[in-house]
């Protein structure tokens, strides 16, 4: 005999919930993979879902890769939403909050070689157009990576 109606309804509800969670997860994965379409972005794939922040005077800038960048302070705001790789090693966040009487805010993040992921500085070279410099191993050439690996921890030499 078939299961009682309440049990069947619960099984149906559970199956619908599981399908929704799976569909949501599939969408998240497809979104993440979409950012990795060109080979130059692949080296930065460990930044998916990660945020790096830096305090500069009274502001704290938070850069959440493949999502958005914000400026926290007296008046928190979105500096930009993930746009694209403008060129290899340069991430572009676009269409942030509007400047009063001006353009939408934007942020360029320029990567340079470093052993870890870190935002080094943030500036505003022109009105509402921000620029940050960050380090990431993905910005290193093969020779620079070898130097980072071979450098290792420094140890005192034994002179006896």
For 5-33, what is the mean pLDDT? Answer: 83
What is the CATH number assigned to the segment(s) 39-145?
2.70.130.10
153 Cβ contact partners less than 8 Å away, ≥ 6 residues apart: none
Q: State pTM to two decimals.
A: 0.73
Instruction: Show me where the domains of the chain are located.
Output: 1-34, 39-145
Residues 57, 86, 43: CA angle, nearest 5 degrees: 90
**Using CA atoms, how far apart are residues 99 and 127, in angstroms rounded to an integer?**
8
pLDDT tens per residue across span 99-155: 998 899 999 999 999 989 999 999 999 999 999 999 999 898 888 888 877 776 655
pLDDT tens per residue across span 16-26: 999 999 888 88
First-to-final CA distance of the chain: 88
């Amino acid at each position: 005999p078939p299961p009682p109606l309440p049990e069947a309804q619960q099984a149906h509800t559970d199956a619908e919930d599981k399908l929704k969670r799976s569909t949501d997860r599939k969408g998240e994965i497809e979104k993440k993979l979409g950012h990795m379409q060109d080979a130059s972005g692949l080296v930065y794939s460990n930044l998916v879902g990660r945020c790096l922040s830096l305090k500069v005077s009274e502001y704290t800038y938070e850069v959440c890769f493949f999502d958005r960048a914000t400026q926290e302070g007296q008046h928190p705001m979105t500096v930009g939403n993930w746009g694209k790789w403008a060129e290899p090693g340069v991430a572009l966040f676009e269409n942030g909050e509007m400047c009063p009487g001006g353009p939408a805010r934007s942020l360029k993040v320029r990567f340079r070689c470093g052993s870890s992921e870190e935002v080094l500085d943030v500036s505003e070279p022109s009105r509402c157009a921000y620029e940050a410099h960050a380090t990431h191993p993905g910005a290193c050439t093969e020779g620079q990576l070898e130097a980072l690996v071979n450098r290792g921890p420094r140890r005192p030499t034994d002179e006896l």
